[in-house]
Amino acid sequence: MLQDLEEEYRLRFAQMAGYRDRVWRVLTRQFFQAYIPKDGAVLDLGCGWGEFINNIEARTKYGMDLNPESERRLSANVTFLKQDCSTAWHVPDSTLDVVFTSNFFEHLPTKESLRETLIQARRCLKPGGTLICLGPNIKYLPGAYWDFWDHFLPLTELSLGEALGLTGFRVVTRTARFLPYSMSQGFAPPVSFVAMYLRLPFVWRLLGKQFLVVAKKP
């Protein structure tokens, strides 16, 4: 299973690894950094090859994934947690300012796995801490959503919002259309376009196929 995961990442992302890193450098600096205190603690859930967590600024950084390749891709200042996210996280209670996850929840095998993952995120976040969720919205990808072998859970911004409410979070932002879908199948606009796109929310409604849901631990 872990060997399959490592091979899936290699086949899907290796050719565009440098481009993906440049894109995430823009996304972190021009959008997501605003959610994350530079003196705070952040965990990247399903960190993959570390495009988010390597580029974000924070005092304490964690990356969690089952992919053995992840640890080799993370920067030296990132603590790697190789574990199943639906089991108890190796993080103390109420110590994280932010949990971030991108294109990960759809890979979980069951809704119960997602529920247990959200419970762990809530446990580890400080009161008032933030959970940021980015992922493909099946409302706008009814067929293409299933083009990936490891997609299991069909999610929308509304269904995820319900799951968050049921696990004790308060949803503060629920954007149905945020980023375009995928950089793993040849979609590679100039990085300068990404920076411009972030400044034009009306364009999100035309091109966005990923939701952005932000929730708080009360």
Element (H, E) at 202: helix 201-207
Which 8-state DSSP code applies to residue 57? Answer: -
Q: pLDDT tens, 121-133?
A: 999 999 999 999 9
Confidence grade of residue 210 (pLDDT, cut at 50, 70, 90) = very high
Strand partners, 128: none
Q: pLDDT tens, 93-120?
A: 999 999 999 999 999 999 999 999 999 9
Confidence grade of residue 68 (pLDDT, cut at 50, 70, 90) = confident
Report the share of the chain in percent with pLDDT over 70: 90
Tell me which residue of 56, 53, 49, 63 sits closest to 14, measured CA to CA.
49
Other C-beta atoms within 10 Å of 194: how many? 19
Give the structural domain span for 148: 2-216
Predicted TM-score of the model (pTM): 0.92
DSSP per-residue letters across 116-153: HHHHHHHHHEEEEEEEEEEEE-TTT-TTGGGGSTT---
Structural domain tally of the chain?
Answer: 1
CATH number for position 174? 3.40.50.150
C-beta pairs of 5-12 under 8 Å, 24+ apart in sequence:
5/66, 5/67, 5/150, 6/67, 6/68, 6/69, 8/149, 8/150, 9/48, 9/49, 9/67, 9/69, 10/69, 12/148, 12/184
Mean pLDDT of 21-50: 96
Confidence grade of residue 188 (pLDDT, cut at 50, 70, 90) = confident
Asked if residues 215 and 169 have their Cβ atoms less than 8 Å apart, the reply is yes
Mean pLDDT of 12-16: 59
